[in-house]
Amino acid sequence: MKKKTLLMFFVLQTFLLAQNFKFVAMSDSRGKNNGVNDSVLTEIVNHIITTQPDAKFIVFAGDLVTGTEHEPEVTYRQLLHWKEVMAPIYNNPNMIWPKVWPIMGNHESRNRKDEANFKKAFPNVYSNGPDDEKGISYSFDFNNTHFTFVNTDRWYYGDPNDTTDDRRDWHYIKHIDWLEKDLKAAKGRGIKHIFVVSHEMIYPTGGHLHDGLANLGRKFKGVVDSTRAWYLDRRQKVIDILKKYNVDAHICGHEHTYARQKVNGVFEIIAGSAGAHLYYPNPTYRADADSHYVWEEMSYTAAIPYYKTLNYFYGPGENSQASRNFVTKRAFNYSVFDVHEDTVFVETYGAFPKKEDSTEMGTKIQLIDKFIIKKD
Ligand SMILES: [Fe+2]
């Protein structure tokens, strides 16, 4: 009897261990070498290969390449070049098919032919998304974990035969119903962990305070007109759905930085530069705050209407973010998720830049953050 109990314990433990796995998240590798920051992406890829031998696959949250507005064939060639730089991953026998799960970013959606080309470049994803986003938005289970990749940046075709009715259609999730149905079905299957991956973040932390899913626009002075209300309403629906289905984390990019925080019960992790030029976090209150901003970042005074509308903590002593448990590192980075039965251990590795506005690494890649996602 004692022997039988021991054996059952051993079998159960083996089963639980078999459910454990690791995956890597990264994003935003665009740069000047044929649309890619070759040197930074190569360093990151080599670091993953040498230090994460048991990672099963990569999720890549968009802006792989710079893309072009008028030459879709150039964007396509950039994507093929990106795959060449990622060759050590694709050739890694320790990872499982298809090794890389990508989602489009705004830089892969700058022309009406871009979506078709993205699907051509990455044909090995599932086609179980909404009708007009098949092969773009998709989802799957791996062990006890569900992954939903939902697009935030698409093309508006209008009349498909009218080339003047043709524009980018960015910064929102079109198929919120599909997202909810997908998460509900995952829960129904008894799935333990859920990760939602999209390019744009819910809670902008710095370089893109003016867009992300809130999409308040540049030079926002605090007036929420009907267009802004539409984006904010859709964003709120996404927040509510992620909370309702107890999602472990929303993994995204778009801002070129590493940031993580828990808001409304759900982690948002910006795994946002595998090469794209690094941003600073939102400016905080200080006497000379307005003198310190570069790139896409805005001054503290200009940021206040955004903070107010997005309910951020701002003012003296606050961090100008959506939560007070906010952690950020201005570093090229990738995150490793070690998924266990009730807990996910997350470690982020990164290299700090050579110069303030640099696209070059100035340090070795090192551990820059670790935290735990504990399921309730
Ligand atoms: Fe982006």
Cα 115 to ligand 1 centroid, rounded to whole Å: 15
Cα 56 to ligand 1 centroid, rounded to whole Å: 26
Cα 295 to ligand 1 centroid, rounded to whole Å: 14
Number of domains within the chain? 1
Cα 252 to ligand 1 centroid, rounded to whole Å: 10
Q: Is residue 15 part of a domain?
A: no
pLDDT at 2: 57
Rg (CA), the chain: 21
DSSP secondary structure of 247-259? -SEEEE-SSSSEE
CB crowding 179-197: b at 16 or more within 10 Å, else e: bbebbeebeeeebbbbbbb
pLDDT at 19: 82
Round to whole Å and give the CA distance between 242 and 141. Answer: 17
Residue 132 CB contacts under 8 Å (≥ 6 apart), including other chains: none
Round to whole Å and give the CA distance between 209 and 249. Answer: 20
Q: Is residue 6 part of a domain?
A: no
Q: Is residue 170 part of a domain?
A: yes
CA angle 27, 32, 38 (to 5 degrees): 60
Domain of 290 in residue numbering reads as 22-374
The Cβ of residue 329 has, within 10 Å, a number of other Cβ atoms equal to 17
Cα 328 to ligand 1 centroid, rounded to whole Å: 18
Q: Is residue 5 part of a domain?
A: no
Q: Is residue 50 part of a domain?
A: yes
DSSP code, position 108: G
Task: Specify the length of the chain in residues.
Answer: 376
Cα 170 to ligand 1 centroid, rounded to whole Å: 10
pLDDT at 286: 78
pLDDT at 104: 98
Cα 180 to ligand 1 centroid, rounded to whole Å: 24
**Single pTM value for the model:** 0.93
Cα 288 to ligand 1 centroid, rounded to whole Å: 29
Q: Which two tokens stand for residue 328?
A: 């950020």
Q: Is residue 3 part of a domain?
A: no
pLDDT at 163: 73
At which residue do the structure tokens 């829960």 appear? 187
pLDDT at 289: 65
Round to whole Å and give the CA distance between 132 and 333. Answer: 32
Helical (H) or strand (E) element with 24? strand 21-26
Cα 155 to ligand 1 centroid, rounded to whole Å: 14
Please give the chain's pLDDT, 376 residues, in tens.
Answer: 455 655 555 554 545 555 899 999 999 999 999 999 999 999 999 999 999 999 999 999 999 999 999 999 999 999 999 999 999 999 999 999 999 999 999 999 999 999 999 999 999 999 999 999 999 999 999 999 999 999 999 988 777 777 777 788 999 999 999 999 999 999 999 999 999 999 999 999 999 999 999 999 999 999 999 999 999 999 999 999 999 999 999 999 999 999 999 999 999 999 999 999 999 999 999 766 666 655 667 889 999 999 999 999 999 999 999 999 999 999 999 999 999 999 999 999 999 999 866 899 999 999 999 999 998 6
Q: Is residue 367 part of a domain?
A: yes
Q: Is residue 11 part of a domain?
A: no
Cα 334 to ligand 1 centroid, rounded to whole Å: 16
CB crowding 7-23: b at 16 or more within 10 Å, else e: eeeeeeeeeeeeeebbb
At 350, which CATH number?
A: 3.60.21.10
DSSP code, position 237: H
Cα 148 to ligand 1 centroid, rounded to whole Å: 19
Three-class SS state of 47: helix
pLDDT at 291: 62
pLDDT at 290: 65
Round to whole Å and give the CA distance between 143 and 146. Answer: 8
Cα 15 to ligand 1 centroid, rounded to whole Å: 40
Cα 361 to ligand 1 centroid, rounded to whole Å: 21
Round to whole Å and give the CA distance between 81 and 95. Answer: 21
Residues forming a β-bridge with 333: 350
In angstroms, what CA-CA distances link 45 with 82, 179, 281, 360, 373?
12, 30, 25, 15, 25
Cα 146 to ligand 1 centroid, rounded to whole Å: 24
